[in-house]
Structure 1
Amino acid sequence: MESGKKQSMDSAPAGPPADQTNFGLLRLYFQNSFFKYFESIKGKKTIYFDDGLLKVLSFVFGQMPQSANIDETLPLNAKDQLQPINEKVIFVVRPELDVIRKVIFQQKGWMTGKEFYILYVPRRTIECDEELEKEKIFSEERVSQIAMDLIPLEEDLLSLELADNFSHYMLGDDDNYKVYVQTSINRLETVFGQIKFKFAKGDDASQILSRINQSAIPIDSSNQTNESEIDAMIMLDRNIDMVTPFCVNQTYEGLIDEIFRIQSCSITVDTSIIKPDAQKDPKAPPMEPVKILTLTNDDKIFKDVRDKHFNTLESTFSQKVQQIQNIVKEKDAPQSIDELEAYITKLRNMDIAKGKDILTHHINLAFYINTQMKNIDYQHCYGLEQKIILGEDLKQILQTLENKMVKQYSKDKILRLMCLLSVTQSGLKADILESLRKFYLMNFGYLEIITLMNLQDAKLLRVKDKKLDWAKLKKTFKLINEETRIQDPVDISYVYNGYSPLSIKLIEFIFNQGGFAKTDDKLKLLPGQVIYPPNENEFFGAKIQTISNSDQQRKKRVLIYFIGGITYGEIAAIRFLNKLFKDRKFIIATTQIINGETCIEMMRGKISNNLNLQSLLKK
């Protein structure tokens, strides 16, 4: 199918409002692809799921149809050889060598009498096939792939959900993600029409966009059938802003992610956190020790508060409690039969009981987060982060960091602050960096040396250079707002208590200035190449248009695609841009969603291709 034409899909979900794109089509397509594959293998099946795919596939699948005939699912690990009960066994895996070695390990435990199948997600690779061929256990006809790429987590948020993408991006040890990004854009254009205006900032973004442009079919602007549901795409490399990922954003969703780690729109929480009173009731039935909470816009309360500053939640929750109480009180007022019927309908539509339970869960969750934020170590860590961002006395910051190491403060939080310091200082002087490294190893052990070397290889811990002038960036992009408003905010600085994330401030500047060409001097301050079309004025000068055969007006839809990961703080800031630019509708795409802690975790224990072990041993 030509990328300039839109594809229709059978059994498509109902269309979205005029200013939204129906990304539910993508989820439906992926569901159908998996269901058809499972149904093609007759008989009862056991499926081994790669841990890196389990959460995202659960989100995509929803309820597995009975026709798939799957009556056993097992985790894929390298510790226990779990015997499947069925003759037909399917391994659903990412195309990574360490995952394939787990498959081989599992298979060797029960070699006879089974039919083995491999399903790669999102694509099959030669190196993984070669690893399997060494064992001679899989026939060609039993190896398949499903090209699952951008998954619609929300109506405005798409993610490739690539586990460990941040580390692959930073270390350069696996560039398959570039193919996945390009493929995902090709699919978007196949389904929703060819995107007319494409922009890129960063070396990876520019490389991918160049490939897309080379293979693109020229757009016939006079042909109305070629109109895309996405008007423009801006692709950004993660490394244009390495400051924001190591900061703690103050939105409700961002803090949930910091503490509980959101994975494909869900978190696993101790039941005692969201139902603390249930434990005190001796008559209450026994509870499951943990509960999985789904965090999407289907939860109307979460939708209202997810992007709010955490310190504003108390008043918001109080209002919602009052609303529920007022509705319940209505039943005691004298009512006619008609009024009573209307009241019952109102109760049914609002599902008061369920709404009350969900609100209670969020109040208790927020209470727990608040106790964590009041922890003295958290307060010190956040205070130090603020000093680093503002560029306060370096000697005092280093001394505080060393004190935290001596007190055995969380090593991931220490590394997070070290990276933030290094990035905002354009690197550290060689003697300071070496002293900090040695002090860290002395306190946390020399097994940490590979993590430190990875961070150095990724240039997150580096010797001072002149590649990035943080003081100049703060001034040029006006990143610090000392009078930020967290209640009824007027700019994106509310997300980080006065710091506007550089990546999103760049987007704001581009739209305020009227295009990439007019922002060229500011773009040069950030790393990486720039690509923009010569006719960009046609897009940046365009206003809201009336949809044909309708009185509705359609905003210009802009896809912001982050390569290397995006934080929940940046997602909230992009959503806030919709208020600043009322004639635009911003949509977010990313390779994965990250925060400072997960960034450090992904760098931990990985041996980079560029890691010089000889030099490491000499140190």
Structure 2
Amino acid sequence: MHATSQDKTVQEIKSFVENVLPQLMAQKKSTSEHTTIAGLIHEQVNNTTFSDDLAAEQEFMVCADIDKPSAYIEDKIASKADLRNVMRLICLQCAAGSGLKDKLLNHYKREVAQVYGLEVLLTFSNLEMAGLLHPQTDSRAYAVLRKTLHLTVEDNVEVDPKDISYVHSFYAPLTARLVELSLKPLGWQTLKSQINNLHGPTFEDFQAQLIGIGGRNAGSTVSEGSLLHVPRVVLVCFVGGCTFAEIAALRFLADQEDNNVEFLIATTKIINKNTFLDSLMST
């Protein structure tokens, strides 16, 4: 009986080493990786420059003081901060204000050229040709879209959030909001006048819904009633690139049970605030 107990103990140890120990080691590695990532994020988020940049960006996104020179941008120029960051903030102010007044744009050009050199005017020219910097229009397109599509949500819910603005803690990516609207019964047909404020042409094309097509289990034999529970598969294409924030917003949208949808995301490139401007910078 004593030998049997020893055999059982040996078998338990063997089972632990073969089955449980690898899982514990994997969990330890995963915990270590996530702790390292959390530390890096914490260091970045608590950086003064990051928080100051974020505050300036949020002021632009709510259309605060967008028709006059930004004291924050002027301070960044005076301290000769990263030129990409300066140009990005100027472009953001331009987008929020549906353009910049000629006097304001010339002011920024003069200030930047005095600090970074005359060659930076080539960057301004590139941004103007790309449509990222342009004279102000009367349409105030962004202001209209911000209110109509609820692009900024100041009182964000952090416990059991339901809105995609949660991924930014403030801003709902415009592309993700449009996708969200397309999932509703009437889609964005009720917002056609507002959608026309977007840059470039818009069009709609409808495909007939085929029974048995549209979900991961489409190949199996299912009844029409059970098809209602099969998630729709929506392909979202970004031409020119998309950000991780937009991907996170779509994932968040897919996680909402009421939507019953899965997204496939196709993009020409993953971009961020720096890589987006790299190809347009002259220096």
**TM-score of the superposed pair, with normalisation by structure 2:** 0.83
SS in 2 for 1:479: coil
1:603 pairs with 2:280: yes
- Alignment partner for residue 528 of structure 1, among 200, 204, 209? 200
1:378 pairs with 2:50: yes
CA distance change for structure 1 residues 395 and 428 in 2, over 3 Å: closer, same or farther?
closer
The structure showing larger relative contact order (alpha-carbon pairs under 8 Å, at least 6 residues apart) is 1
Alignment partners' CA distance in 2, 1:401 and 1:431: 16
| Contact 2:153–2:171 (Cα < 8 Å) also in 1 | yes
Task: Tell me the equivalent position of 1:104.
Answer: none
| Contact 1:450–1:605 (Cα < 8 Å) also in 2 | yes
Task: Tell me the equivalent position of 1:408.
Answer: 80
How much has 1:492 moved relative to structure 2? 0.7
| Contact 1:556–1:583 (Cα < 8 Å) also in 2 | yes
Task: Tell me the equivalent position of 2:173.
Answer: 501
- Alignment partner for residue 357 of structure 1, among 20, 29, 40? 29
Alignment partners' CA distance in 2, 1:447 and 1:511: 47
- Alignment partner for residue 260 of structure 2, among 568, 583, 599? 583
SS in 2 for 1:560: strand
SS in 2 for 1:574: helix
- Alignment partner for residue 147 of structure 2, among 457, 463, 475? 475
Alignment partners' CA distance in 2, 1:583 and 1:338: 46
| Contact 1:422–1:461 (Cα < 8 Å) also in 2 | yes
Written as runs of structure 1 = structure 2, the 5 A alignment for 1:85-104 is: none
Task: Tell me the equivalent position of 2:16.
Answer: 343
Task: Tell me the equivalent position of 1:367.
Answer: 39
| Contact 1:401–1:414 (Cα < 8 Å) also in 2 | yes
Task: Tell me the equivalent position of 1:315.
Answer: none
Alignment partners' CA distance in 2, 1:492 and 1:520: 22
Deviations 1:551-605 (A, max 9, x none): 9964221100011110000000111121235422111000101111111212112
| Contact 1:437–1:452 (Cα < 8 Å) also in 2 | yes
SS in 1 for 2:57: helix
Alignment partners' CA distance in 1, 2:150 and 2:277: 28
Structure 2 stretches of 5 or more lacking a match? 1-7
How much has 1:475 moved relative to structure 2? 0.8
| Contact 1:492–1:500 (Cα < 8 Å) also in 2 | yes
AA aligned to 2:238 is F
Alignment partners' CA distance in 1, 2:148 and 2:203: 22
Alignment partners' CA distance in 2, 1:395 and 1:425: 7
How much has 1:447 moved relative to structure 2? 2.1
AA aligned to 1:587 is L
How much has 1:495 moved relative to structure 2? 1.4
Alignment partners' CA distance in 2, 1:515 and 1:341: 59
1:424 pairs with 2:96: yes
- Alignment partner for residue 240 of structure 2, among 555, 560, 564? 564
CA distance change for structure 1 residues 519 and 344 in 2, over 3 Å: closer, same or farther?
farther
CA distance change for structure 1 residues 342 and 554 in 2, over 3 Å: closer, same or farther?
farther
**TM-score of the superposed pair, with normalisation by structure 1:** 0.40
SS in 1 for 2:274: helix
| Contact 1:426–1:470 (Cα < 8 Å) also in 2 | yes
| Contact 1:543–1:583 (Cα < 8 Å) also in 2 | no
Alignment partners' CA distance in 2, 1:358 and 1:491: 29
Alignment partners' CA distance in 2, 1:359 and 1:557: 33
| Contact 1:544–1:583 (Cα < 8 Å) also in 2 | no
- Count of aligned pairs: 268
How much has 1:354 moved relative to structure 2? 4.4
CA distance change for structure 1 residues 487 and 598 in 2, over 3 Å: closer, same or farther?
farther
How much has 1:424 moved relative to structure 2? 0.8
| Contact 2:67–2:100 (Cα < 8 Å) also in 1 | no
Task: Tell me the equivalent position of 1:573.
Answer: 249
Alignment partners' CA distance in 2, 1:597 and 1:561: 22
Deviations 1:7-34 (A, max 9, x none): xxxxxxxxxxxxxxxxxxxxxxxxxxxx
- Alignment partner for residue 186 of structure 2, among 514, 517, 520? 514
CA distance change for structure 1 residues 544 and 373 in 2, over 3 Å: closer, same or farther?
closer
AA aligned to 2:276 is C
Task: Tell me the equivalent position of 2:112.
Answer: 440
SS in 2 for 1:596: coil
| Contact 2:66–2:97 (Cα < 8 Å) also in 1 | no
Deviations 1:218-264 (A, max 9, x none): xxxxxxxxxxxxxxxxxxxxxxxxxxxxxxxxxxxxxxxxxxxxxxx
CA distance change for structure 1 residues 393 and 522 in 2, over 3 Å: closer, same or farther?
closer
AA aligned to 1:565 is G
Q: Calculate the aligned-residue CA RMSD, in Å.
A: 2.9
